[in-house]
């Protein structure tokens, strides 16, 4: 039994529809749609969404909590939105937004150019990159892609890290 799937998802300030396997949520920040299979039955009430397995199969039980988590993230995204904050540390490491691309200087001989996906906004202020949007999956994946260009190294801590991420530091060479 899924503990997440049992809990109803509250519809606060949102409208939800489910037709032909496509679940759509409208809220103050925008609209999100996602295709779901028919393993889990989705019932939309006046103030909440309930999910139940349509069949007594292992796949239906496995997808019950997954679908509930996706729907909960969609509702939260169109009401509040999602934000990921990255910190850029290192001498000469910087970035700027040019149109729909993120251009970063990360110690390479060339600038690193990353296209910003639709529905995501990027703001850079003093070594802090703030990524925000309504789709949790897109925001998180874009933040991971940006971080992957220069992961924090363990000796000096230079690189791109999530805000609040702790990097285990290694001791350098000792002079004898």
Does the residue 121 lie in any domain? yes
Domain interval for residue 103: 82-162
**Cβ atoms of residues 61 and 67 within 8 Å:** no
Q: Which of 153, 26, 138 lies closest to 93 in space, CA to CA?
A: 153
Band of residue 173 on the pLDDT scale cut at 50, 70, 90 = confident
Helix, strand, or coil (residue 64) = helix
Band of residue 12 on the pLDDT scale cut at 50, 70, 90 = confident
CA angle 14, 78, 122 (to 5 degrees): 165
Q: Give the residue from 79, 95, 118 where a domain finishes.
A: 79
Rounding to the nearest 10 degrees, give the CA dihedral for residues 64, 70, 76, 82: 150
Q: Say if residue 66 is in the same domain as residue 15.
A: yes
Q: What confidence tens digit (pLDDT) does each residue in 114-159 have?
A: 999 999 999 999 999 999 999 999 999 999 999 999 999 999 889 9
Q: Give the residue from 43, 62, 79 where a domain finishes.
A: 79
Q: Say if residue 92 is in the same domain as residue 62.
A: no
pLDDT for 1 equals: 63
Does the residue 176 lie in any domain? no
């Amino acid at each position: 039994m899924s503990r997440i799937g049992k809990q109803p998802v509250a519809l606060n300030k949102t409208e939800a529809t489910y037709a032909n396997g496509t679940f759509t949520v409208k809220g103050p920040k925008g609209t999100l749609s996602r295709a779901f299979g028919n393993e889990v039955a989705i019932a939309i009430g006046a103030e909440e969404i309930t999910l139940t397995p349509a069949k007594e199969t292992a796949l239906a039980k496995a997808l019950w909590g997954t679908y509930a988590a996706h729907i909960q993230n969609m509702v939260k995204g169109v009401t509040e939105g999602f934000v990921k904050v990255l910190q850029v540390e290192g001498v000469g490491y910087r970035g700027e937004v040019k149109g729909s691309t993120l251009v970063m200087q990360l110690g390479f001989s060339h600038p690193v150019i990353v296209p910003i996906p639709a529905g995501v906004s990027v703001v850079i202020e003093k070594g802090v990159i703030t990524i925000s949007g309504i789709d949790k999956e897109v925001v998180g994946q874009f933040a991971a892609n940006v971080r992957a260009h220069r992961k924090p190294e363990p000796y000096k801590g230079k690189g791109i890290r999530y805000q609040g991420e702790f990097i285990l530091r290694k001791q350098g060479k000792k002079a004898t």
